[in-house]
Amino acid sequence: MSSPLLVGVHQPGDSWLHRCPTGVKLLGLAAFSLTVVLTRSAAAAPVFLGLALLAAAVGGVRLATLARATRAILVLAVMAAGFQWWIDGPAKAVETLVDLVALALAAITVSATTPVNAMLDTLVRAARPLRVVGVDPERVALTISLAIGALPGTLALALETRDAARARGLGRNPRVYLTPFVVRVVARAHEQGDALAARGLGD
Amino acid sequence: MPVLELESAGVSVATPAGPDGTGEKVLLHPTYLRLTQQRIGVVGANGSGKSTLARLLNGLVAPTTGRVLVDGLDVARRGAEVRRRVGFCFTDPAAQLVMPTCVEDVELSLRRLERDPARRRERALAVLAEHGLAAQAHQSVHDLSGGQRQLLALAGVLATDPAVVVADEPTTLLDLANSRRVGDLLMGLPQQLVLLTHDLDLAVRCDRVLVVADGRVVADADGPTGVAAYVDAVDRAAHDGHEGPA
């Protein structure tokens, strides 16, 4: 099973972007995203795309990773662009399409050059001031990492359940595979809760 | 060695009232145990109460009667301290591994012990190397083989250097080679080990074996004697079954 979700996108490396503090990268991504969204100019769109590609090149992000991120956003971007062509004309449509691809590439570049644990450390530090209102930063970080980790696990469960239904010749009826799938996801959540408690996380 | 004590500890759960109107199912009858040996095996049928017994030892299950003590610490009251001493390894490592890559999962275990990210990474890599997983450090935990995954789960548990390791059927899902490897690793641990297993070759190697049936410890002896008692009980049950229900 080599679905993109199961492999994860982080690529270990030693580029300038890899060594750049995670907080700086996240703030940079936020600033870049805001600039892209707020700048209403068709001429600026290719510049943003160029910047995103430059960042990806500096980070040494693999072409396959970039292609996958582009493909993932492309359906949505084409739909949005088609709608804008109809409302505002071709210039606006191209701007939207190129902007969305640039944002996706910038985001994947940050993900590819930042290990999840570094992201967690940054979040813990960022959430620290919230401690005064009773928020435990470690718990916030753990929740986010669980949500990220749950995706491939849940996908694997879905594929297994579908195969089991198929093996019994029960492929057609969604209830037949959705019911055991939901039951298994909940059971997995319980097991994972036990495992986290056993590792003393959240104590 | 740490001392694990069950003082009349039992677990029962509420169920919809049955024909006898009690509405209570006993998972483990009140049990007295004092475990001081290094390697303790627990054998018994599926659903016999083995897992409940194991989960009492680190507070995953709270006793509904009596108490459980780890080195004198009451598990129900001082759960966090107990879990720092008692590592727990599950049958299915997939449930236990929560981070995307191997090194990050071990780092998750080390978060509390090592605040500095660079040093934490160093320690995690050392732990992986110790378990022959250095080459897989940056691989997705989902790309590992079943055996590697269980080794990684164990590495995550051992990284925090617990005094006791409780393992719930850690070799059940593994092939022969991997189950030997995990079994040998567990048997070679300097820590106290409580091992639930269906692998009788492994159970025989324990210093003490508990046989659990219907929520009770029905035999308690050295490795070979305990395993023999379990095999006898299963043989007798199969024999009685052929004679017709009692």
- The verdict on A188 touching B (C-beta cutoff 8 Å) is yes
pLDDT value at B147 more than 90: no
Under 8 Å between Cβ of A162 and A177: yes
Of B16 and B131, the structure prediction assigns the larger pLDDT to B131
Under 8 Å between Cβ of A100 and A77: yes
Of B137 and B22, the structure prediction assigns the larger pLDDT to B137
Under 8 Å between Cβ of A127 and A137: yes
Say which of B87, B117, B157 has its CB closest to residue A121.
B117
pLDDT value at A3 more than 70: no
Sequence spans of domains, chain A: 4-114, 128-198
- Quote the percentage of chain A above a pLDDT of 70: 94
**DSSP state for residue B101 in the 8-state scheme:** B
CATH number 3.40.50.300 is the correct assignment for the domain at B4-243: yes
pLDDT value at A1 more than 50: no
Under 8 Å between Cβ of B170 and B158: no
Under 8 Å between Cβ of B213 and B44: yes
Name which of A48-57, A157-166, B63-72, B131-140 the model is least confident about: A157-166
What are the CA-CA distances from residue A26 to residues A29, A33, A52, B232 (Å)?
5, 10, 14, 64
What is the average pLDDT across B81-101?
A: 84
Q: State the pLDDT confidence band at B219, using cuts at 50, 70 and 90.
A: confident
Name which of A96-105, A170-179, B85-94 the model is least confident about: A170-179
Best A144, A199, A203 member to test B by mutation, with max B CBs in 10 Å, is A199
Determine phi and psi for A170, rounding to 5 degrees. Answer: -115, 35
Say which of B83, B92, B98 has its CB closest to residue A146.
B98
Q: State the pLDDT confidence band at B233, using cuts at 50, 70 and 90.
A: confident
Other residues' Cβ atoms within 10 Å of the Cβ of residue B134: 14
pLDDT on residue A4 = 41
Q: Give me B245's structure tokens.
A: 């229900």
pLDDT digits (tens, 9 = 90+) for B68-78: 999 988 988 88
What is the average pLDDT across A48-77?
A: 89
pLDDT on residue B245 = 47
Judged by phi (left if over 0) then psi (alpha if -120 to 50, else beta), residue A18 lies in: alpha
Under 8 Å between Cβ of B133 and B74: no
What is the average pLDDT across B52-73?
A: 89
The arrangement of strands across the sheet holding B208-213 comes to B86-89, B164-168, B192-196, B39-44, B208-213, B216-221
- The verdict on A31 touching B (C-beta cutoff 8 Å) is no
- Give the mean pLDDT of chain B: 86
What is the average pLDDT across A163-189?
A: 80
pLDDT on residue A29 = 94
Burial label for A53, CB within 10 Å (0-12, 13-18, 19+), is middle
User: Whole-structure pTM over 0.80, yes or no?
Assistant: no
pLDDT value at B62 more than 70: yes
Asked whether the beta carbons of residue A138 and residue B107 sit closer than 8 angstroms, the reply is: no
- The verdict on A199 touching B (C-beta cutoff 8 Å) is yes
- Residues 6 or more apart whose CB falls under 8 angstroms from that of B74 comprise B67, B68
**Residues in A touching B109 (Cβ below 8 Å):** 199
pLDDT on residue B197 = 92
pLDDT digits (tens, 9 = 90+) for B191-211: 999 999 998 989 999 999 999
Asked whether the beta carbons of residue A117 and residue B87 sit closer than 8 angstroms, the reply is: no
pLDDT on residue B246 = 43
**Residues in A touching B98 (Cβ below 8 Å):** 145-146, 149, 192, 195-196
- Chain B residues with CB under 8 Å of a chain A CB are 55, 58-60, 79-80, 83-84, 87-88, 90, 92, 94-96, 98-101, 104, 107-109, 111-112, 117, 120, 138, 140, 142-143, 156-157, 160
Asked whether the beta carbons of residue B142 and residue A146 sit closer than 8 angstroms, the reply is: no
- Give the mean pLDDT of chain A: 83
Say which of A6, A118, A197 has its CB closest to residue B142.
A6
Q: State the pLDDT confidence band at B243, using cuts at 50, 70 and 90.
A: low
Say which of A12, A138, A203 has its CB closest to residue B79.
A203
Sequence spans of domains, chain B: 4-243
pLDDT value at B189 more than 60: yes
